[in-house]
Structure 1
């Protein structure tokens, strides 16, 4: 039995230098939807494409890039990567492929936070 009972949601918090600019980037590049901006608290939240999973953006003058690596499932990684690269999104090297298992690619938001795409190959 767990010490606490968690709900069916998760928020992945990341440090950014400009929440509004970052929120716009997540909308434009990944299709996420702004839930709210709490300007007084320096916090914004966006719904991802996965039910119950939100991204929380905490505004800091010196963000801590790479403080987590959310992994998002995708059906066509190659096509998604091509579109992101055309929008000048930086990737960390080539796409990694484990034949018969998974294909992954790590990329970065404007503040250097690492994100990953993963395509199930099973």
Structure 2
């Protein structure tokens, strides 16, 4: 039995220089659909052709190619984080929240691979 209960969603987060240009590329080349641009967070999301899988575009001045971070949808981020921390899992700083939008927490597997939980705050709990 696992320590946390994941939802049936995953976002593959990648770093890009210009989210708007990248969104146009993924639309034209792969047929992805823009879900939204969240300019204040430097973040965009694209609906892929696979149910439950989203591509997240995180804007950075110098993106790191090949650095994909899986972002797992979670219903209760604080409970999940507490469970993993109690089991010795390392997190990267505090949980980040954009009120009314999302809460995220980055954590690492035993080999140092980054992963993230994301709790959607746009839907009632």
Give TM class, smaller chain. 0.5 to 0.7
The answer as to 2:40 corresponding to 1:40 is yes
What's 2:60 paired with?
Answer: 60
Per-residue CA distance 1:22-63 (angstroms, 9 max, x = gap): 000000000000000000100000000000000000000000
Q: TM-score, normalised by structure 2?
A: 0.54
**Cα drift, residue 7 of structure 1:** 0.6
Per-residue CA distance 1:87-119 (angstroms, 9 max, x = gap): xxxxxxxxxxxxxxxxxxxxxxxxxxxxxxxxx
Aligned length: 70
Gaps of 5+ in 2: 71-125
Counterparts of 2:59 and 2:29, CA distance in 1: 20
**Cα drift, residue 20 of structure 1:** 0.2
What's 2:25 paired with?
Answer: 25
Counterparts of 2:69 and 2:11, CA distance in 1: 12
What's 1:118 paired with?
Answer: none
**Cα drift, residue 66 of structure 1:** 1.0
Counterparts of 1:68 and 1:4, CA distance in 2: 22
What's 2:13 paired with?
Answer: 13
- Structure with the higher strand share, 1 or 2: 2
Kindly report the root-mean-square deviation, in angstroms, between the aligned alpha carbons of the 2 structures. Answer: 1.6
Gaps of 5+ in 1: 71-122
Q: TM-score, normalised by structure 1?
A: 0.55
Counterparts of 1:69 and 1:7, CA distance in 2: 17
**Cα drift, residue 69 of structure 1:** 9.2
